[in-house]
Chain A
Amino acid sequence: MHLFEAQPGVSGKRDAGRAEQRAIDDAAIMARIRKREEAALLELYDRYQRLLMALALRIVGDRETAEEVLQDVFVRAWEQSETFDEKRGNVSAWLFGITRNRAIDVLRSSQHRARNREREDLPEHRGDTDDLAEFATTRVMVRQALENLPPERRRPLELVYFGGLTHREAAEALGTPLGTTKGRIRAAMDQLRHILAPGRGDAP
């Protein structure tokens, strides 16, 4: 079960239904990609390029490199579609994982060492016109969840996830003890877990 399926609130069922439908659609697209259908790859690209580009851009910091990352991600999705295992997660998580890993490899191989990069906080993003209606509810929820994190938790989380640092490097960058950094990351993840997956994250 995926977190999308556990959203609370009035629109929860509808959102869960959308998410479920999206997962089914994505799986169908992946099946077509495995059959070497180029149109399916472009369909997947059209569906996710904005989100993946946003992630790549956030990590590598410039559009040109981010687009190269995006290219590599979809070429890999095309050439290594057999490595996608539905049982281990959905297509979007798979794509995000490839994108992030690739972007971090690029970032860390460049002369711009991640730990020396100045990072902006996540931009405020209220009231924008979001043409990805399919993802709108999820995006609002995630943004709110991130904004609700206390800065001391949010900062190390962002440095590791978007900055491409290890938690040790994040601790160095922030000047906080390793154990403290690790604890704050865990606290941030638990807080997100509580908000985005209520009822799931409380097992001792």
Chain B
Amino acid sequence: MTTSRPPLTCDEVRDILAVQALEGHLAERDERVEAHCRECEGCKAARSDYEDITGLLAFGLPDAPASPAARERLRARIAASRAKRPRRLPWAAAVAAACALSLALGVVIGAVFWRGGDDDPRLEPAPSARVVLERASDDSNGNAWAEVLVNSQSRVATLLAYDLPALPPGSVYQFWFVLPGGERVSAGVLTPDEQGRAQQVATLPTDWPEISGMCITREPAPGSQEPQGPYVLVAWW
């Protein structure tokens, strides 16, 4: 019981406070320290200073800018968090199941154009299109789905994929743009996390109106020049 332990001296309390400030959320809390600080202005001030110093330490590190793509990903995540996941249309799922390996499987639920985000003129231009990629077949891809947020002005597409099934060793997911002639242009290999989520930022190979589809395929590692593996998620229009 803490009540049976002797009270701490200021010196002991400050040892603990210095460590607690540095440890952050890993720090053990001690009710005797809290009780002491409620009564001792000096230790209360020391705690405040230690916490301020902790907040300053990162200023001692060398500069390390994040990649430009990271900003775009953040923007896409925020946009995605504002947009509710669209409901899968029953007929779309049926069509997708019936036409498993056909490129006609693509069901564009998205391509929903919006501008400016709400009606706040101070907002930067929002993505100009959102495309939802649906499963190419219902047999082995679980609940996988993806959305692509396209900024037509900057020609940047941000893919956010969810619930991708884990792949056997030697296989990777690859993201593709489809051009009107049917040519596929790789937009990179995906690296899903443990929850099957993956993000990819890619530059459109041509102007946005020229893109006629997007898809994710399963390819032999480390990826392919042209799609060889089965289609996992598709969107065609």
A residues touching B (Cβ–Cβ < 8 Å)?
A: 2-3, 36-39, 41-42, 45-46, 49-55, 57-58, 63, 66-67, 70-71, 74-75, 78-79, 89-90, 92-93, 96-97, 99-101, 104, 122-123, 125, 128, 130-132, 135, 138-139, 142-143, 145-146, 157, 160-162, 164, 166-167, 182-183, 185-186, 188-190, 192-193, 196-197, 200-201, 203-204
Contact = CB atoms under 8 A, between A and B. Distances in A.
Interface residues of B, number: 53
A185 B141 CA distance: 52
B51 A167 contact: no
Contact of B74 (A63, A75, A125): A75
Nearest to A40: B122
Interface string B33-69: 0000000011001100111111111111111111100
Contacts of B52: 2-3, 89, 93, 197
Interface of B: 10, 14-16, 18-19, 21-27, 41-42, 45-46, 49-67, 70-71, 73-75, 77-79, 81-82, 117-118, 120, 122-124, 126
Given A3-B52, A186-B18, A193-B50, A38 B65 contact: no
B60 A122 contact: yes
Report whether over half of chain A's contact residues are helix, strand or loop; otherwise say mixed.
helix
A160 B66 contact: no
Given A38-B75, A54-B64, A167-B19, A142 B56 contact: yes
A37 B19 contact: no
B70 A38 contact: no
A48 to B, nearest CB: 10
